[in-house]
Amino acid sequence: MSTGTRILGIEGTAWAASAAVYDSATDDVFIESDAYQPESGGIHPREAAEHMHDAIPRVVATALEHARETSDRPAGEPPVDAIAFSRGPGLGPCLRVVGTAARALSQTLDVPLVGVNHMVAHLEIGRHTSGFDLPVCLNASGANAHLLAYRNGRYRVLGETMDTGVGNAIDKFTRHVGWSHPGGPKVEEAATDGEYVDLPYVVKGMDFSFSGIMSAAKQRYDDGVPVEDVCYSLQETIFGMLAEVSERALSLTGGDELVLGGGVAQNARLREMLEEMCEQRGADFHAPEARFLRDNAGMIAVLGAKMYEVGDVLPIEESRVDPNFRPDQVPVSWRTDEPELAIGRENGTVQGAEATVDLSPEAGRATKRREVKTYRHPKLDDRLRRERTRIEARLTSQARREGVPTPVLSDVDSRESRLVLEYVGDRDLRESLSADRVRDVGRHLANLHRAGFVHGDPTTRNVRTSPERTYLIDFGLGYHTDHVEDYAMDLHVFDQSLVGTASDPGPLRRAVREGYRDAGEERVLDRLREIEGRGRYVDDGAES
């Protein structure tokens, strides 16, 4: 007789009506799905909800029949231990259909109800199938794009899209050229015959934006650039951005495991880029099999089993769905491990996100080389490395003139993407976090912003400390701007890195705001509050 946990999972966040049965004793997952296919354009919420209304009873009946046929439990006992359902995020009308079905089935079978966050399920199925302990996860789906890592009992958002999900961004282009939903597979097919053309490339720390690249791609197509060239360049640029920010997340956390989730993860070029990035970095990479990448109830059932086994169940009256249910709002009840940050050496060669740095403390020198990223298209990679080397040299020196402690630059070779800088500090900020240090960073960023430029990637790894001073380093993603939104995003990037590395980020997040207020403009903090109020970010003890 099976002694494992058996869970019936139901998924219906957007387009896939799906039900599954998971048996933890055998690790078997049975999935039955019925996908909504719009006749034209993208997903229509009303039509998707109508599809869910029709399809959910069918797929649930099939899954329940499988559960009964494979059950060796005594007659009269329910064939599953609990009902797990996708509680959000997703389209409200679709989620409500699924929530209603889950509640009815829970009451009919007299078994508990488990509410699962769809995005955390994408992460957990990757962790489950890979066997990784502490992976960083890139979720690349239609409506979302997140970088997540476990810290202080939750999956923290280290970076995410600043506008739209990666799949939706691609679909906007394919609708423009008249292709039906879903657009991703059509772009992937067309890209096989394409050649590279320049498109905007926007990363801010570990955040990223797709709106500019989509507008440019539409314009290239309208200007007569062959559609296969635009598709090829879309993939090279968008996926290059996702691979880069994933490497930044690995660098920040000291991690050496990356899992990929979400429907866009079915794209072979994205998986190839991430695998090559991890291989070059010495990290392990895993993408689950295709049936677990697209929206599916299997991942809901697997995570539902983990939650059920620790008693994380929902009373019926508290089972309301949440279309804006963020992954960092979920208490991770099924894990008790807490990762320690892997700290690099202070002598020898240190590997960052985009460069290796040869440290010579005795000589007071650090030699930084931006390495060739073989996962990126050679033209794009060459442009980024040269541009960022020049920008870093210029802004490092400009920041010093504004009174911000930075390394003195002694040599720069943009052709070789090499910089020779003064060795400053004795450790990264992530090793010496304190309110005073973080307050210094707030003041330094305010000084940069008053001078009309941003750092671009102010994380706890790009701040160096000594007993006397707090230095900013690595200005390669910086740029000149007079937009208050850019200044607020600069602060937000640092804020995210505190959440991802600090054991108690709340007081530190307040300290950086205090430091900024000392030297900067209140309107920037007002905009930071506005950004956080847009629903992309979760409060973790900071007060502006």
Asked if 460 and 429 touch (Cβ cutoff 8 Å), the reply is yes
CA distances from 246 to 54, 117, 118, 474 (A): 39, 22, 20, 18
Q: Which residue in the list 34, 171, 381, 457 is annotated as catalytic?
A: 457
337 is an active site residue: no
With tokens 């980020």, the residue in question is 505
Q: Which residues of 183-211 are buried (b: 16+ CB within 10 A; e: fewer)?
A: bbebbbebbeebeebebebbbbbbbbbbe
Asked if 186 and 175 touch (Cβ cutoff 8 Å), the reply is no
Question: CA nearest 299: which of 105, 135, 116?
Answer: 116
Asked if 15 and 98 touch (Cβ cutoff 8 Å), the reply is no
Q: Point out which residues pair with 350 in neighbouring strands.
A: 357
Asked if 354 and 247 touch (Cβ cutoff 8 Å), the reply is yes
Q: What are the E-state strand segments in 451-490?
A: 453-454, 463-465, 470-472, 479-480
Q: Pairing relation of β-strands 6-11 and 203-204?
A: unpaired
With tokens 């240190």, the residue in question is 350
How far apart are alpha carbons 10 and 297 in whole angstroms?
5
State both tokens at 290: 């295709």
Q: How many CA atoms lie within 13 A of 519 on its CB side?
A: 19
Output the CA torsion sign for 50, 52, 56, 59. Answer: positive
Count of CB atoms situated within 10 Å of the CB of 491? 28
State both tokens at 417: 């993407």
Q: Which residues are known catalytic residues?
A: 457
